[in-house]
Amino acid sequence: MKKIYAFTIASLKMMVRNKTNIFWSLFFPLMLMLIFGLFNTSQESINVAFIKGKDIPASISSFASELSKQKGINLVSNETLSEADKSLKAGNTDLIIDAEKNTSVSPESPLYKVNFYINKSSQVYSIAELLETQIKYSFLEQTTKGGNIVQFNQITQSAIKDYSYVSFLTPGIVALAIMQGIIFSVMMILITYREESVLRRIFLTTVTKFEFLSSLSLTRIIMALAQAAILIYVALLIYHVKIIGNVFLLTFVVILGALMFISLGLLISSLVNKIETASAVANVITLPMMFLSGLFFPLSALPKWLSSISQYFPLTYLINALRGVYISGDTFTKILNPILGILVWLIIFTIINIRVFKWE
């Protein structure tokens, strides 16, 4: 245990003294958060979910395709009302249009009901209300001929308290900082140690491989926790973004995500022998995840075929888990799916590492 402690302290000192590592793992994500946080009061498009019930006439069901053609309206794909409602409460959807057949047998009752669920906490709440009014008239023009055919209901809901773009952004920036800091530092230190025969000298001493890997992992976990704490504190200090969920659960997610990316860093360091090549490989892996994992915008803004792929990225799972706790106050059971996704990737990387990892 003393050896692990000594190696951990030495590794921490090395990481703090490495200016390049500090820049990419902390200051770069911090700059992204500060810059993109300035856009927390603007939103170019409105996210609308259209839920069509059974026995809805073509005049109503075709309205969804017409809606998607309008500029500034992003039609979100949700199969059920419960899925759309969950998205609305998470702040990813601004307006839900739920069209259903009226089951009432009263002859005075309308044939169809159209319920509008509006996210009161949305930055485009007033636009959503205006769009609702326009939709009512469009529905009436398409489906009524003087009779009482459609009944409209507005159901106003609040998503996350004080929800803003920077609230959405902060957990993603934390996840990005963890990924960048861990992958590049683990990869570079192992490749450098191999090239300079440092590992061989270390193992000529009484230090075991288990102790070395334990200290390496513990160092990166400590740094990941420090990154998360600093970024969250800056978001609180400048943008007044508070943690809604449990701090201990958030800490657990950070540690689990750190372990996942430690395994990925070990894997890259085993497959590549040169620092220059390793950096290129790492960028090829991390850059697509940076832009396609829902960090800067919801996955629903991507083309459906692309979002169906990117939802399985390691960074996507970590962002979803952090975002669930950070801004939605989700419990462990509610973030179980992204937690399982992180564990699956961790197991996959570990199994491959067992087969391909090399010390020399």
Question: Per residue, what are the HEC states of 121-145?
Answer: CCCCHHHHHHHHHHHHHHHHHHHCC
Residues 6+ apart with CB under 8 A from 11: 189, 215, 216, 219
- In the sheet where 150-157 sits, what is the strand order? 73-76, 46-52, 95-101, 112-119, 150-157
Residue 190: its pLDDT value, please? 85
Q: pLDDT: is 96 or 45 the higher one?
A: 96
Which amino acid is it at 67? Answer: L
**pTM (2 d.p.):** 0.65
CB atoms within 10 A of CB 251: 15
Q: Evaluate if residue 38 carries a pLDDT over 70.
A: no
Between 45 and 44, whose confidence is greater?
Answer: 45
| pLDDT band, very low/low/confident/very high, at 343 (cuts 50, 70, 90) | very high
- 206-257 pLDDT, tens digit per residue, is 777 788 888 888 999 999 999 999 988 888 888 777 888 899 999 999 999 9
Break the chain into its structural domains and give their ranges: 2-38+164-356, 46-157
Residues contacting 81, CB < 8 A, separation 6+: 51, 96, 98
Q: Is the pLDDT of residue 158 over 90?
A: no
pLDDT-wise least confident of 138-142, 254-258, 342-346:
138-142
Query: With 60 as the cut, is the pLDDT of residue 123 above it?
Result: no
Using alpha carbons, list the distances in angstroms from residue 322 to 2, 267, 318, 325, 335. Answer: 33, 24, 6, 5, 9
Q: Which class would CATH give 46-157? A: alpha beta
Q: What is the DSSP string of 64-109?
A: HHHHHTSTTEEEE--SSHHHHHHHHHTTS-SEEEEEEE-----TTS
Mean pLDDT of the chain: 77
Give the model confidence (pLDDT) of 56-103 as tens digits: 666 666 666 666 666 667 777 666 777 787 777 766 777 888 877 776
